[in-house]
Amino acid sequence: MIFYKKKAARPLCLGLAVFAAAILSAPIFFSCSALKKERHSLKIVNWNAQTFFDGNNDGVEYTNFIKSKRWNQEAYKDRLQKLCKAIDQLDGDLVVLEEIENIGIVYDISNALAGDNWNQKKVYRYACFAKNENSAIGCAVLSRLPLQGLKVHSLDIQAEQSQAPSMRPLIEVDLLAPKRLKIFVNHWKSKGGEKSSGQDSDIWRRWQESLLAQKIIEAKENGGGIPIICAGDFNQDISEFSLVQDGAESGLANVALFCPFYEKNALVYSPWLDFAGQIGSYNFRDKWERIDHFFASGNIRLEDFAPQTGEWSYEDGRPKTFRLYSLNGWSDHLPIACRVSF
């Protein structure tokens, strides 16, 4: 049996205060020219920022941060500055971040980026954030375009023999660009600690896949053809998903996400399967993995997809992992980016 608990997560959706922007749920009005049936294009970036905590000890942080004598407000400000510089260079219209501790960090990122930017079109006026109560980390979305209709979907699984671990919720939010684009933000259960815990993490990722598939199916049936993009750290290589064999029948879709609730698949497109590069988004023991993803469904095109390298990566592309003992590095993941046309 599967239940969806809305009270388990704390969603926050806001127009960032530094610009006195309107609350995101308020009505948005467009000129007639914005209603033309033209395709809209924007750049989307996704990045697991790797345990991005602020300088306060709230008791929910990972043990190594709580015990660290080096981690403090000054260290946080330095790391924040590095992250903001990287986000500015990546220049996404929409930036999805995993492993962010709280909404305060989202404000800090947005305000820091705004303070260095005189181009109002480049400012991240809108944002949303959600995580489960008492959880250490959650997911955030920064946007230059209005966000609306934030929903958070959490799993309460009582159909397995073992107790379910803590899992991040699925975020659903609409972007108005001026066309609507539905966004699903994911951070699936990691494979870390499988041997020590004796748990098969595949079980929990399958549940998270079923939840995402269900919400995609429902959005397609009830959304009037609104295009969909899913982003996040899925902790699952593209080769571990069910791949579609009959491309003629499924169109651009090449991945099948199974939904047991409806007993059918949500067919989506992954740009990894068309990517000719040699690197992935995560490097474990000198082996590349492609575990950070964009999945698309509906009348939408994904172009110029690639993992992004820069100051946050070595010459061979490997990410410069953040090290608490030295306070060096950015993240153990590379950001991924693509241009979305819809």
Domain assignments of the chain as residue spans, ordered by start: 2-341
- Using CA atoms, how far residue 237 sits from 16, 30, 292, in Å, is 35, 40, 8
- Alpha carbon separation from 3 to 55, 106, 201 (Å, rounded): 35, 29, 19
Which residues, at least 6 apart from 260, have a Cβ–Cβ distance to it below 8 Å?
210
Which CATH number applies to 2-341? 3.60.10.10
Q: Which of 340, 337, 339 is nearest to 89 (CA)?
A: 337
Q: How many Cβ atoms sit within 10 Å of the Cβ of residue 13?
A: 22
Cα(209)–Cα(215) distance, rounded to whole angstroms?
Answer: 10
Along the 342 residues of the chain, how does pLDDT read in single tens digits? Answer: 343 333 345 455 555 433 323 223 333 333 334 334 678 899 999 999 999 999 999 999 999 999 999 999 999 999 999 999 999 999 999 999 999 999 999 999 999 999 866 778 889 999 999 999 889 999 999 999 999 999 999 988 777 777 777 889 999 999 998 889 999 999 999 987 654 445 688 999 999 999 999 999 999 999 889 999 999 999 999 999 999 976 544 568 999 999 999 999 999 999 999 999 999 999 999 999 999 999 999 999 999 999 999 999 999 999 999 999 999 999 999 999 999 999
Distance of alpha carbon 256 from alpha carbon 176, whole angstroms: 27
- Residue 212 CA: distances (Å) to CA of 112, 261, 287: 33, 11, 28
The residue whose two tokens read 């990722």 is 205
Amino acid identity, position 273: L
Neighbour-count burial of 329, counting CB atoms closer than 10 A to its CB (0-12 exposed, 13-18 middle, 19+ buried): middle
The pTM score is 0.88
